[in-house]
A and B are shown apart, each in its own frame.
Chain A
Amino acid sequence: MTYKHRIDGRGFDETRPIEAKVGVIKRADGSAMFKIGNTWAYAAVYGPRNLHPKFLQDPQRGILRCNYNMMPFSSSGERVRPGGSRRSKEISLVTQKALLPVLNLEEYPNSVVDVFIELPQTEAGSRCAGICAASMALADAGLEMKDLVCAVSVGKVADKLLVDLDYSEESYPDVSVADIPIAMMPNSGKITLLQMDGEVKKEELMKVLAMGKKALLDIYEIQKKALKEKYHGVEE
């Protein structure tokens, strides 16, 4: 079986349309919105601020806390019950690991930087959209950063390697599907998130990672543009 054309007509190395905006939540110290296709993420950063309870404090450096949450009406199926699931807890963890390498938290001992990621609407790729939004929000908060973080999913549907799987591809019936969310620091090219569901050969994985890298560099440009727009007073 071969996957000839993508269901929505995109090229195999093409992402869905992307929209990004910074400074969307005024009460937060930093915030951003990142939309890719029908997946829509907000991120708000609070901090560095006091960390309670006290035993969580690290006198050597500030800590980064991330929370990923799907809004109750964000799934195309049944309502998502509020409160964390095992899935959202795991995504919160890998998001924190994806973002941590770009931060320098040694200047903020005993403090916390909180990142809250909320998804009003999802259709595959939500953890990557959340990471893209969060890294822009961290920059918007004025934290010292070594790099941004860009994220996208890559994978394989039947015989084709592709970038940014949508829901119909993730759940393509009766063929082998691999879904591989990745995050990268665009300047160093280092990978900060790597997960995989499905089946893929090692050679294919390396090839699809290279395809992903190209898409991530495009996402990096979109993130930078959104950050600059805020400070040039350019309105959409």
Chain B
Amino acid sequence: MMYRELRNHIIGLLNADTRLDGRKLTEYRKPVEIEYGIIKTAEGSARVKMGETEVMVGVKLEVGEPYPDTPEEGTIIVGAELLPMSNPDFELGPPGIQAIELARVVDRGIRESKALDFKKLCIEKGKNIWMVVIDICPINDAGNLFDASSLAALAALKDTKYPEFNGEKVDYKKKTDKKLELEKTPIAVTVIKIGGKFIVDPDTEEEKAVDARLTVSSIEDGTLCAMQKGGDEPLTMEDIDKMLDIGIEKAKELRKYL
């Protein structure tokens, strides 16, 4: 089968300390590019390019009612659509499990790091709060949507300005100068295990050969704020130890692009 041949080839390269495109094992594709404010109709937006992978994220701010158990807190909602435009394997239809996992991993990185102070999103206790709606749209999926989407989501939040709210309605035509405040910068790094080796930023071929993956989100001082293990194979304690080190180290590198 083609697939097994490819996988063996990838493992052969990894054992020789290189990859299909000549990168080192823990090297991201270049360039990593972040553009801010690309979409005028959104309250905040960003486009991230990681090699050939390209993701757009837009933020819309809506006013809603707080949850009864957190009357003084706003909230975030993260959606991801795996647009069939971006990958021949993606199909039309409601978000499948892949899209849901992507959205939830991005959500947890932001939520659990307390990158946004939900109390600051409260307009009137028990009545009105800001809901920060973050939508992830891949334009070209050439691998590693997790890290590209997380970075784009954070960049879009950084770009977000509140629209005007008069107590009744949001006037989306009027953007204020008030920016959404980011308290932390959680960065997700997905570490991939293939044939006993660890790599970051997989391309399309490498993603097909994954044994296990661990997405590690960490903030400036290296504190972990969210994790997600994926892939069919289990991980040993030693694996996790190494993958966390790579994740925390690489997050520092990605953070510089913001």
Give per-residue flags for A57-86: 1 if the beta carbon is below 8 A from chain B beta carbons, else 0: 000000000010101111111110011000
Is A82 touching B81 in the complex (CB atoms < 8 A)? yes
Is B133 touching A72 in the complex (CB atoms < 8 A)? yes
Chain B nearest Cβ from A134, distance in angstroms: 11
Q: How far is the CA of A71 from the CA of B142 in the complex (A)?
A: 20
Q: How far is the CA of A74 from the CA of B83 in the complex (A)?
A: 15
**Which of the candidate stretches A25-33, A94-102, A149-157 sits at the interface with the other chain?**
A25-33
Is B39 touching A25 in the complex (CB atoms < 8 A)? no
Q: Which chain A residue has the least Cβ–Cβ distance from B156?
A: A73
- Chain B interface (Cβ < 8 Å from any Cβ of A): 38-42, 45, 52, 54, 56, 58-60, 62, 79, 81, 83-88, 92, 94-95, 133, 135, 137, 139-142, 170, 172-173, 204
Chain B nearest Cβ from A84, distance in angstroms: 8
Chain A nearest Cβ from B87, distance in angstroms: 6
Chain B nearest Cβ from A91, distance in angstroms: 14
- Chain A interface (Cβ < 8 Å from any Cβ of B): 24-28, 31, 38, 42-44, 46, 49, 67, 69, 71-79, 82-83, 114, 116-118, 120-123
Chain A nearest Cβ from B186, distance in angstroms: 21
Is A118 touching B83 in the complex (CB atoms < 8 A)? yes
Residues of A within 8 A of B39 (CB): 73-74, 120-121
Q: Which chain A residue has the least Cβ–Cβ distance from B59?
A: A73
Chain A nearest Cβ from B176, distance in angstroms: 16
Residues of A within 8 A of B142 (CB): 26-27
Report which of A38, A79, A82, A116 forms a contact with B84, defined as CB distance below 8 A: A116
Residues of A within 8 A of B62 (CB): 78-79
Is B56 touching A71 in the complex (CB atoms < 8 A)? yes
Given contacts A71-B56, A79-B62, A82-B95, 18 further A-B contacts (CB under 8 A): A26-B142, A27-B140, A27-B142, A28-B85, A28-B140, A38-B41, A44-B84, A46-B84, A72-B60, A74-B41, A76-B40, A76-B173, A77-B172, A118-B83, A120-B39, A120-B56, A120-B137, A122-B41
Residues of A within 8 A of B83 (CB): 69, 116, 118
Is B135 touching A82 in the complex (CB atoms < 8 A)? yes
Report which of A38, A79, A116 forms a contact with B85, defined as CB distance below 8 A: A116
Residues of B within 8 A of A72 (CB): 58, 60, 79, 81, 133, 135, 137
Is B40 touching A121 in the complex (CB atoms < 8 A)? yes
- CB<8 Å pairs between A and B, sample of 18: A27-B88, A27-B140, A27-B142, A28-B88, A31-B85, A44-B86, A69-B83, A72-B135, A73-B39, A73-B41, A73-B60, A75-B41, A76-B172, A82-B79, A82-B95, A116-B84, A120-B38, A121-B39
Q: Which chain A residue has the least Cβ–Cβ distance from B99?
A: A82
- Given known contacts A25-B140, A118-B137, A76 and B41 CB-to-CB distance under 8 angstroms: yes
Residues of B within 8 A of A120 (CB): 38-39, 56, 58, 137
- Given known contacts A26-B52, A27-B86, A79-B62, A73 and B45 CB-to-CB distance under 8 angstroms: yes
Q: How far is the CA of A123 from the CA of B133 in the complex (A)?
A: 21
Q: Which chain B residue has the least Cβ–Cβ distance from A119?
A: B41
Is B41 touching A121 in the complex (CB atoms < 8 A)? yes
Q: How far is the CA of A161 from the CA of B257 in the complex (A)?
A: 49
Is A42 touching B92 in the complex (CB atoms < 8 A)? no
Is B41 touching A123 in the complex (CB atoms < 8 A)? yes
Chain B nearest Cβ from A121, distance in angstroms: 5
Residues of B within 8 A of A74 (CB): 39, 41-42, 58
Q: Which chain B residue has the least Cβ–Cβ distance from A77?
A: B172
Q: How far is the CA of A83 from the CA of B96 in the complex (A)?
A: 12
Q: How far is the CA of A191 from the CA of B200 in the complex (A)?
A: 51
